[in-house]
Structure 1
Amino acid sequence: MSREATRRRLTEKQADTVDRLTRAALEVLSREGFAGLTVRMVASTAGVGTATAYTYFSSKEHLVAEVFWRRLAATQPPLADASDANSRVVAVLRQIATLVADEPALAGAVTSALLGTDPDVSHLRTRIGIEIRKRLMDALAPNVDLDIVETLELLYAGALVRAGVGYASYTEIADRLEKSALQVLANPEL
């Protein structure tokens, strides 16, 4: 069975290599931080040749963005059993905001990586954005207002950048994001 990666479809063996690289990236990040992380170091930790690693990841930013994408994709959206849309939206935003909260090295690296200009990062940024938009729209259903969705996306993106640059912890940002989202939802004209 093949699985899709950022740059191409993968065989089972290739998917295993990519999995090893993404796990090794987390290990290297925790030791070296984003500034010290290199694709070469990750390849060595994963027991993979550097050229092989570059076959899958064009840069360290691409590698870290892939780690975040995989984490997001593997996380099921909060259950939609809340009766009101506001509670569902807040649950989605809180889940996304705290996705990397317990891993400060990864959190900072994700912020740096997703702001990069690498075309493979751009592709992942789009995939991540589409997934988050889908989750927000599902939470707002059946009364989806695209202006509200876009405002919530701006709130979430700004909040994560603030957390990523260290203005507040991800937990504090999640709390602030909840308050801001509820203000927008209560007064869509803001």
Structure 2
Amino acid sequence: MSFESTRRRLTPKQADTVSKLCDAAVAVLREEDFAGLTVRMVAAHAGVGPATAYTYFSSKEHLVAEVFWRRLSQSPRHDLNGLDQKARVVAVLRDIALLLADEPGLSSAVTNALLGSDPDVEHLRMRIGVEIHGRLEAALGEGFDPDVLETLELLYAGALLRAGMGYGTYERLADRLELAATMILGGA
């Protein structure tokens, strides 16, 4: 699947370079924390020049936010047919919570990156928010209370921040999201 960069349209060769940089960022974050990560380091790991990397990514925050956006947008959506509202919402929250479960370095980096003020990060943060909003809205179904949707979005954002700060695993986060969503939606 080809992705359009947040900064410009890409040729197939450019899209391949961006994918290499994203993959390299994940690999580097397995060995280096976010504070030590640099775009130069990622470029070297990807086998491209730093100037090329900066052509596509304005900062390390932008690069990491792009990695998260790609993971989110590529993640499969469960078939929610036949499930009640609570089960649909829980499935959506669990899916997005577990996107980073296997990559603790990346998960911590995503939390830091998404809090950045880089305009390219702001753009990606908006795209991520719209995607999560849409998934939760679909899970809630017709006639939902907009306040419930906003509460679920706040729940997820707070949980992502909490996990990124190292307060528990993403698996535990998914369980806590399930419990909290069930409470919000009126269940035991």
For residues 2 and 9 of structure 1, do their structure 2 counterparts lie closer, same or farther at Cα, with a shift above 3 Å needed?
farther
* CA apart distance, 1:47: 1.0
Where does the alignment leave 5 or more consecutive residues of structure 2 unmatched?
A: none
TM-score by length of 1: 0.94
TM-score by length of 2: 0.95
Structure 2: how far apart are the matches of 1:106 and 1:2?
22
Matched, 1:124 2:124: yes
Matched, 1:88 2:88: yes
Quote the residue 2:58 is aligned against.
Answer: 58
Matched, 1:41 2:23: no
Residues 76-155 of structure 1: pairs in structure 2 closer than 5 A: 76-155=76-155
Runs of 4+ off more than 4 Å:
none
Kindly report the root-mean-square deviation, in angstroms, between the aligned alpha carbons of the 2 structures: 1.5
Sequence identity (%): 65
Structure 2: how far apart are the matches of 1:8 and 1:79?
33
Quote the residue 2:30 is aligned against.
Answer: 30
Structure 2: how far apart are the matches of 1:103 and 1:2?
23
* CA apart distance, 1:3: 4.3
Structure 2: how far apart are the matches of 1:104 and 1:93?
18
For residues 114 and 2 of structure 1, do their structure 2 counterparts lie closer, same or farther at Cα, with a shift above 3 Å needed?
closer
Where does the alignment leave 5 or more consecutive residues of structure 1 unmatched?
A: none
Structure 2: how far apart are the matches of 1:138 and 1:6?
26
Quote the residue 2:178 is aligned against.
Answer: 178
Preserved CA contact (<8 Å) 1:152 1:181: yes
Preserved CA contact (<8 Å) 1:100 1:107: yes
